[in-house]
Amino acid sequence: MHTATEERLIRPAKNIYGSLRLPGDKSISHRYGMLGAFAEGTSRFTNFSTGADCASTLACMEALGASVARPEDGVIEVTGVGGKVNQPAGPLDCGNSGSTMRMISGLLAPQQGEFTLIGDASLTRRPMKRIQTPLAEMGAKITLTEGHAPVMITGSKLHAIDYTTPVPSAQVKTCVLLAGLQTEGTTTVRESVRTRDHSELALRAFGARVDRSVDSVSINGPQTLSAIQAAVPGDISSAAFFLCAAAIFPGSQLLLDGLGLNPTRATLLDVLTSLGLQISVLNLEDKHAELVGTVQVTSPAAGLGSTSVTGALAAQLIDELPVLAAIAPYTRGGIRIRDAKELRVKESDRIALVVKNLRAMGAEVTEHEDGMDVPGNQQLHGATIDSGGDHRIAMAFSVAALRASGDTLIQGSEAANISFPEFFSLLDFVAER
């Protein structure tokens, strides 16, 4: 069981106003850190994620022989192992990070050595069979305990496969591509919903050839990677909390610059637009094929309308659904979420926890196995929130708390450190009281 250690009191706000530049994207930082540590040479990344998850990736890669220097705040220099990792002295601790565990497993399966990947209680509850299945199909020796971590890998030569992911998952896609990178022949991953493509873009940035079609990605191994210099775009999943906070106060104005706007990640902007938010995107730039820009939002005087998130949209918005659900009572017509069963196997059961915490704040909500219905036009009251040790739950309800009547206590608020240690101070900075 998770034990909450820190609490945060969130007072209601009148408005959201200001401009922010957000720390580096978690997904991209994982990939740049991991590939830099595997490549030949020294890579340098600015605006690298400050979250504990990316620190777990870097620590695992150091245990595998890479070296990591932090010359300044937000800057890291990673000297890679040149395609061949060292035998680590002990288990690789992935902490709370599913991305670390699933992606590194693919990197290690074709290497020489014995590797054990472990994680915290939350990560140990999460499904790992989804990576074991394709890796075993490639010939990997990988064992789990009843479908869960520890992940035990005895490295061996693999063969290329053509794999269709049963559940859309960028982590699983990446796992297979990282094994394919080191395996003779063409490894292909097919997906029914296009998941975030940071791995494909990052592999290309590091010099690999990756071929893409509408619904598949192929890599012809073996290939080597060379070091790069890159600035990590601001994290749009972190921006989601501020965008949603701005959205619930008519007249809010918020500007976010240097923000990652990769089309496979920016679906929230479409959904918020459909709810009535005015969004302009300026200064678009391409950084190693990642789109970066400035987002300016103004919240409508008439408040937010209603929306429904189902099908492919639910998969693409999966990390943003907790905060969308948390602000749904403040819309006029409510928000309906379906096809989001994956939420139940994230850092927590995010459907159960969102429902529980919305009810604690006095909201009416109907829970479904794969989503929820949150009616609009509801005024919430301050309450004690259980973060369940889940960063996105802690932050989502801090946003809902801004428009509640009375104060809200977020229990286990330190969970925000997993992806966004600066969250509470930045929220204080833009929330006008």
Footprint of ligand S3P (CB under 6 A): 27, 30, 99, 169-171, 196, 318-319
Q: Whole-number minimum distance, CB 98 to ligand S3P, in Å?
A: 6
Minimum CB separation of residue 203 from ligand S3P in Å reads 13
Rounded Cα–Cα distance for residues 184 and 72 (Å): 39
The token pair at 213 is 């079609």
CB of 127 or CB of 305, closer to ligand S3P = 127
Q: Which of 94, 62, 99, 101 is nearest to 79 (CA)?
A: 62
Q: How far is the CB of 12 from ligand S3P (least distance, A)?
A: 29
Q: CB-wise, 26 or 336, nearer to ligand S3P?
A: 26
Looking at the Cβ atoms of 51 and 303, the one nearer to ligand S3P is 51
Q: How far is the CB of 291 from ligand S3P (least distance, A)?
A: 17
3-state secondary structure the chain: CCCCCCEEEECCCCEEEEEEECCECHHHHHHHHHHHHHCECEEEEECCCCCHHHHHHHHHHHHCCCEEEEEECCEEEEECCCCCCCCCCCCEECCCCHHHHHHHHHHHCCCCCEEEEECCHHHHHCCCHHHHHHHHHCCCEEEEECCEEEEEEECCCCCCCEEECCCCCHHHHHHHHHHHHCCCEEEEEECCCCCCCHHHHHHHHCCCCEEEECCEEEEEECCCCECCEEECCECHHHHHHHHHHHHCCCCCEEEEEEEECCCCCCHHHHHHHHHCCEEEEEEEEEECCEEEEEEEEECCCCCCCEEEECHHHHHHCCCCHHHHHHHHHHCCCEEEECCCHHHHHCCCCHHHHHHHHHHHCCCCCEEECCEEEECCCCCCECCEEECCCCHHHHHHHHHHHCCCECCEEEECHHHHHHCCCCHHHHHHHHEEC
Q: Is 319 a catalytic residue?
A: yes
- Supply 89's token pair: 């002295």
Considering 319, 373, 407, 428, which one is annotated as catalytic?
A: 319
Nearer to ligand S3P, 196 or 336 (CB): 196
For residues 381 and 405, the answer to whether their CB atoms sit within 8 Å is yes
Residue closer to ligand S3P, measured from CB, 78 or 318:
318
- Could you report how far apart the first and last alpha carbons of the chain are, in Å? 36
CB of 416 to ligand S3P, least distance (A): 14
Beta carbon nearer to ligand S3P, 97 or 111:
97
Nearer CB in complex with ligand S3P: 33/150: 33
Q: For the CB of residue 393, give the shortest distance to ligand S3P in the complex, in Å.
A: 13
**Shortest distance in whole angstroms from residue 252 CB to ligand S3P:** 26
Minimum Å gap between C-beta 322 and ligand S3P is: 11
**Smaller CB separation from ligand S3P, 4 or 193:** 193
Q: Is residue 12 within 8 Å of residue 404, measured between CB atoms?
A: yes
- Which residues carry out catalysis? 319
